[in-house]
Structure 1
């Protein structure tokens, strides 16, 4: 099976988008502080990534499914961390 170039572009874009919140997550875990992180931003991001995930299910596109499922997990983790460490100084 030959994978088209556009699939590689889509997969790379999805991976880069999915890992974009990792630096923030690592910082919050390391510092155990999240007062400067907006939980609303991650809730909106979760809604968008959830919509992309559903879209990937509808069109049966594995790169969209995988990268957005991973993004949703990271969004949920960041929301949890935000509430866990929001009042730590």
Structure 2
């Protein structure tokens, strides 16, 4: 693993970790009034495209970060629809 792969893994961890408090708070409170369905839906699609790109490049940081973020953002979209 080279220096840039380590940088990528650290970046993936930080950006993914910064997203998770929103997921946990929304799950705990069931309050989705502050979430934009349009934003999270387009965000999810963008993350899935980044995931596909990361898979194509065989980039572990991109695959890990975008897999977790895709699942998290899909979870928020589902909760937004469920708890309108």
> Shorter-normalised TM-score: what interval?
0.7 to 0.9
Which ranges in structure 1 are unaligned for 5 or more consecutive residues? Answer: none
Return the alpha-carbon distance in structure 1 between the equivalents of residues 12 and 38 of structure 2.
Answer: 22
Length-normalised TM-score, structure 2 = 0.87
14-23 or 56-65: bigger deviation: 14-23
Which ranges in structure 2 are unaligned for 5 or more consecutive residues? Answer: none
Q: Counterpart in 1 of 2:66?
A: 68
- Paired residue total: 84
Return the alpha-carbon distance in structure 2 between the equivalents of residues 62 and 25 of structure 1.
Answer: 23
1:4-52 CA-partner distances (Å, limit 9, x unpaired) = 1211111111122223221111111221211111111111211221111
Establish whether residue 80 from structure 1 lines up as the match of residue 43 from structure 2.
no
